[in-house]
Amino acid sequence: MMRRHVALVALLCSPFLIFSGGCVAFLLAGGAAGGAVAYVRGELQVTLDYSIDACRTATAKAVESLQLTKKSETGDAVCAQFALENAQTTPINIKLERVSDSSTRLVIRVGTFGDQNVSQRVLDEIKSQL
């Protein structure tokens, strides 16, 4: 009898536990260049179906096209990072991480707490350069 009661309580509480996990991702429409885009804790995250070299080149072109100020750029065959600023001197950080030969994880953070609209604009420009 007690087991049934515990099981029933667990079953009734499970939706609340799932949706109150603290790390809620808002899924946006994925593009032809990769899977779903997630905005989690101030970071826009997506995996693109392109090599890290192609993504790095596209990111550099997007930085130029958006007229962002490049503070630094580092990278190798496994990862790359761009430290940028926009006209309001808000920091924009872009990280690229090789997932496979033809897949790259891209993470964009704008400012300290994130700005989803600006992050999405940067991602859209990177995708247009691929």
User: Per-residue pLDDT tens for 67-122?
Assistant: 999 999 999 999 999 999 999 999 999 999 999 999 999 999 999 999 999 999 99
Show me where the domains of the chain are located.
23-129
42, pLDDT greater than 90: yes
Task: Give me the helix-helix angle, 52-65 and 116-129, nearest 10°.
Answer: 120
- Check if CATH label 3.30.310.80 holds for domain 23-129: yes
| pLDDT at site 87 | 95
Q: Write the Ramachandran bin of 107: left for phi over 0, alpha for psi from -120 to 50, otherwise beta.
A: beta
Q: Give the HSE-up count for residue 109: Cα atoms under 13 Å, Cβ half-sphere.
A: 13
CA 47 to chain CA mean position, Å = 8
| Amino acid letter, residue 68 | L
8, pLDDT greater than 80: no
124, pLDDT greater than 80: yes
33, pLDDT greater than 80: no
Task: State the pLDDT confidence band at 14, using cuts at 50, 70 and 90.
Answer: low
Contact 17, 70 (CB under 8 A): no
Please give the share of the chain, as a percent, with pLDDT higher than 90: 70
DSSP per-residue string spanning 68-106: PEEEEEEE-SSEEEEEEE-TT--EEEEEEEEEETTEEEE
125, pLDDT greater than 80: yes
